[in-house]
Amino acid sequence: MKKLNYLFCFVLLALLYSCNRKDKTEFYLPAEWEPQMGVIVNGLDDTATFEMVSQLAKETKVFCLVSDSSKEFYQNKLSAVGVNLDSIQFLTSSTEFSYAQRDGVIFLKNGIGEKKLVNFAWNMYGWYFDTTIKNYVDKDKIKRELYNAVQMKAFPYPVLTSSMVNEGGAIETNGKGTFLQVESVNMQRNPTMSKELQEAELRNVLNAKKIIWLKEGAAEDPFGYGTLITGNYFGIGVKGHLDEFCRFVNENTILISFPDSLEAALDPVKKITLDRMKVNYEILKNATDQDGKPFTIIKMPVPDVDYMTFRLDTTSRNNEIKFLSQQILFEQKRFSVGDTVHFVPSSSYLNFLITNKTVFEAKYWTAGQPESSKAKDEKVKQILQQYFPEKRIYQINTAATNHNGGGLHCWSMQVPK
């Protein structure tokens, strides 16, 4: 009997050792709060992003993606605000990177320190299904430029290539194998690929164990530029990225944007967002993680922002109004020159970046605005501090960034340690 017990213990230990070895060599997509060796950032021409870089350089290595011709300009600009350039590595290319850094390179790691890059297919947020665009834009050039800058100049890791279109802003994970995806995004990007095939690809490429499908993103994040949301409200976006409305802050806690009923009653855009988030909330409430455990779901405020209101004018001296007017009148035949419209920025409190020592978060209140907006900024800061008690919560006004369709999380990508 003793021999059998010894044999049983030996077999059990061997199995445990085998499992541990497998876990250590298995590549996975780490959660954003796991240790990082640096952060990649582009879009330094944006004031909020530039401020984030100047703060990031105090705590970690920053890899700045810039064009060859603008490198010296940004070196001087960063140096002028006291940034130690020893903390900055410029990754240059012949052209500017014209889309969010997070949607380019994705890093995997394993337990023995090895890294891989994932290169999902790219169709410029689905815009390349438009044959008129395809004729004059080389969609693959953007990816080639980015990978040349990142892989060859900084991270010479093996690359996993996937034919599935996916973007970093559209992927959210708890680092334990549970992934969030959004149907409206993924199916628009991959119209010939079923959810089942997409799930198989996510398991194969990202080592996903559990995939939870949310229905739609925030209304403030529509598809395209100058896109009709509802009524005479137009916006800019990518059709519902997760980093605009739903984020993990630990392996079992999820934050979700949730307008209140009064906001929804006064604002038709927030009304759509609330209706969508109610559906997503129910999905999350009834979902479990990779181990069958339920989630804690925290409803987050949505920011108070001023919409850009103007009359359609194709001859305006304001280039943005002129462009938007031309775009809207071309696509929406029921509108006429002189009609009043509202342009909605892709604002969100959930487009935050988690680093080793800091959570970079949006704020929106400025002097002269209602105190309620200031209170929202503070409430969000307190919630994030609760989940990241050892980190600094550093808030940056991202109103201008959101107006152009970006955010702090969009323009950055953490590099795992």
Q: How far is CA 108 from the centre of its chain?
A: 17
User: Is 10 a residue whose pLDDT tops 60?
Assistant: no
pLDDT of 123 reads 84
Mean pLDDT of 293-313: 97
Beta strands in 141-294 (DSSP E): 159-165, 172-173, 178-182, 210-214, 223-230, 233-238, 246-250, 253-257
Confidence band (pLDDT; 50, 70, 90) for 4?
very low
Q: How far is CA 63 from the centre of its chain?
A: 18
Confidence band (pLDDT; 50, 70, 90) for 125?
confident
pLDDT of 101 reads 84
If you count them, how many residues does the chain have? 417
pLDDT digits (tens, 9 = 90+) for 167-216: 999 999 999 999 999 999 999 999 999 999 999 999 999 999 999 999 99
Q: What is the mean pLDDT of the chain?
A: 91
Residues 6+ apart with CB under 8 A from 289: 174, 176, 178, 210, 251, 252, 295
Confidence band (pLDDT; 50, 70, 90) for 94?
confident
Q: How far apart are CA 225 and CA 220, in angstroms?
A: 12
Mean pLDDT of 228-241: 96
Q: How is the chain split into domains, by residue range?
A: 25-307+345-416
| Angle at alpha carbon of residue 194, lines to 278 and 346, rounded to 5° | 40
Q: Which of 329, 326, 331, 324 is nearest to 307 (CA)?
A: 324
Q: How far apart are CA 160 and CA 204, in angstroms?
A: 10
Helix axes 71-80, 47-56, angle to 10 degrees: 70
Homologous superfamily of the 25-307+345-416 domain (CATH): L-arginine/glycine Amidinotransferase; Chain A (3.75.10.10)
User: Is 7 a residue whose pLDDT tops 60?
Assistant: no
pLDDT of 19 reads 46
Residue 336, CA atoms < 13 Å, CB-side half-sphere: 1
Lowest pLDDT segment from 100-104, 129-133, 207-211: 129-133
Confidence band (pLDDT; 50, 70, 90) for 3?
very low
